[in-house]
Amino acid sequence: MSNGKDRKIKVIVAKPGLDGHDRGAKLLARVFAEAGMEVIYTGLRQTPEMIVQTAIQEDADVVGISSLSGVHNYFFPKVVQLLRENGLADVLVVGGGIIPAEDIPKLKEAGVAEIFGPGTPTQKIVDFIKQNVRKK
């Protein structure tokens, strides 16, 4: 139960690694804002350590990571692991981008809550976040 009268969902939208394809990430940043969330967009070339520091400093409820360059098997679990090490196991981690179907079970096992591939209706992602976000 939150006492806050003006509670907002805070989402970090981050692009890890050297991947420069940020059209999807930028679109989602806007979609989340349209849904009334506060979105912190980090920009490109983020390391897992940077993403997690940002989540700590911003007291983020959700970390959304997008990767189109095939680094997801390293980056996504690493972000989850670092969040847990910093006592932020209740932060919801979701991923998107180009993720082969066979990688998804492993990522979920590692603690990524959901993976959204290309063409996912944006409302579906918004709904997922609203249903699964922690209560502060």
Q: Give the binding site for another protein (CB under 8 A).
A: 2-8, 10, 29-30, 32-43, 45-46, 49-50, 53-54, 56-59, 86-88, 136
Sort strands 10-14 and 114-116 into parallel, antiparallel or unpaired: unpaired
Q: Pick the closer one to another protein by CB: 106 or 134.
A: 134
Residue 41 CB, nearest approach to another protein (Å): 5
Q: Pick the closer one to another protein by CB: 13 or 112.
A: 13
CA 52 from centroid of its chain's CA atoms: 11
Q: Pick the closer one to another protein by CB: 87 or 119.
A: 87
| CA 2/CA 34 separation, integer angstroms | 23
Residue 109 CB, nearest approach to another protein (Å): 26
Picking from 72, 55, 71, 61, the residue whose alpha carbon sits closest to that of residue 115 is: 72
Residue 132 tokens, joined? 């699964």
